[in-house]
Amino acid sequence: MRLFFIFLLLINQATSSLEVARVSLKPPIEDSLIAAIIYVESRGDSMAYNKREDAVGVLQIRPIMLREVNRLLGYDKYKLSDRWNIAKSKEMFNIVKANISNPTNERVARCWNGGYNGNNKRATLPYWIKVKNQINKI
């Protein structure tokens, strides 16, 4: 009988470990924002191209955003071709995010969509709703 209880205890501990492992598969909160924006912008397609806006890559970076990132850095680190590179696109996103005061998910998403004062623009609200809905799915 004692062996049976030890067995049950071991099963309970193993089950708890599995649940922790399942939860840890979900991306951290800060990663869910960029994952949601990538989905909304391009559905994760690194070859996505919007000819009308000359927006490129998974984060649909336009030339004006690239210039802004280089301005924030104080030197020309990124080239137009870097917008096709997922890792470099994420770096650019994080540079923009780091330069937003009080960077809530909403503020970051709306500024990504509408520029420096995007969080104050009514036109960026539908974009934020799409991003927020995607975050909730992650």
pLDDT at 138: 83
Check whether 95 has a pLDDT greater than 70: yes
Query: Is 4 within a domain?
Result: no
User: Alpha-carbon distance 97 to 118, whole Å?
Assistant: 12
Query: Is 47 within a domain?
Result: yes
Check whether 18 has a pLDDT greater than 50: no
Query: Is 18 within a domain?
Result: no
Query: Is 56 within a domain?
Result: yes
Check whether 66 has a pLDDT greater than 70: yes
What are 84's two structure tokens?
Answer: 């096709």
User: Alpha-carbon distance 26 to 135, whole Å?
Assistant: 11
Number of domains in the chain: 1
Query: Is 2 within a domain?
Result: no
**Got the DSSP string for 92-128?**
HHHHHHHTSSS--HHHHHHHHHH-TTGGG-GGGHHHH
What are 138's two structure tokens?
Answer: 């992650």
What are 103's two structure tokens?
Answer: 């960077």
pLDDT at 30: 59
pLDDT at 20: 39
Q: How many residues does the chain have?
A: 138
Query: Is 58 within a domain?
Result: yes
Q: What is the CATH number of the domain that holds 111?
A: 1.10.530.10
**pTM of the complete model:** 0.77
pLDDT at 8: 43
